[in-house]
Amino acid sequence: MTVLEQFDIRGRSALVTGAASGLGLAFAEAMAEAGAGVTLTDVDGEGAEREAARLRAEGADVRAARFDVTDRAAARAVFDAHAEAFDGLDIAFANAGAGIGPGFWNASGHRNPEGQVDSYDPADWDRSIAVNLTGTYNTIREAVRLMKAGGRGGSIVATSSNAAEICEAIVGMPYMPAKAGVRHMVRHLALELAEFGIRVNAIAPGPVATNIGGGALKRDPALRAKWDSLVPLGRIAEPWQLKPLALYLASDASSYMTGSHLLIDGGMGLGKFR
């Protein structure tokens, strides 16, 4: 098998959560461009269907479904519909996430009164953990069920963050422990599932210009400039820059990799030198 043949995922299928925009859409596009059948899911069901229709018009074999990853009862039906449409499941991206609530610091260089640990809304804590950590668990749980039933293994890719390893003062505090939990859950499940040929890895981006946090990085030049200044490569990422890594982890090119947490953050996790 040649190097390029190891990246071939034609004939396989992938389900992607949070796929109506941002990283999830980029991952779904990468899978479709590489020839896989894809289900785009998102709590924004209309957005997922809109993007699926665009990809179908371009010749891709894709479908869409509304899916709130915090709705455990709905998860089974969403995954079963994918398996029926594509004769099983080979690849799953547990990507859906949300930046909820303010950090204790803001881009203007001041504390956020509502972002302090003693003033942060506990409801925002609950929602952030529910989406970013428990939602990832809900997604992986259903993916594993189908992959075990299929008997041909599979690849699960969770979207973590460099926030699993560093503290980001202008991000709502619960995001850090949620993503740290994703990181360790990936390691634990990789160990548990290796026997079944199911690989579990995580992509850990730094800041990316997506709709997370209400799309602030795309609409607030001051905030964008602040984040750009924190990255040694001088700029935050665009979603398309993560597509090659997504394909690598989904395909046989990464067949000997499991339990990895791959930083792709422009060097932000290295710290500042000036």
184: CB partners within 8 A, 6+ apart:
none
- Label residue 110 exposed, middle or buried (CB < 10 Å: 0-12, 13-18, 19+): exposed
Chain length of the chain: 274
Nearest to 158 by CA among 189, 194, 191: 189
Rounded Cα distance between 186 and 197, Å, is 15
Candidate list 155, 160, 251, 254, residue with the active-site label: 160
Candidate list 21, 120, 128, 175, residue with the active-site label: 175
CB of 22 closer than 8 Å to CB of 218: no
Nearest to 93 by CA among 164, 186, 4: 186
Candidate list 21, 120, 179, 254, residue with the active-site label: 179
179 a catalytic residue: yes
Greatest CA span in the chain, whole angstroms?
58
225: Cα within 13 Å, side-chain hemisphere = 6
Residue-wise DSSP of 205-235: E--BSSSHHHHHHHH-HHHHHHHHHT-TTSS
Rounded Cα distance between 274 and 263, Å, is 22
> Residue 80 corresponds to which tokens in the numbers above?
């079963």
> What is the tally of helices (H) and strands (E) in the chain?
9, 7
140: CB partners within 8 A, 6+ apart:
92, 94, 156, 158, 185, 189, 200
260 a catalytic residue: no
21 a catalytic residue: no
Query: Catalytic residue positions?
Result: 160, 175, 179
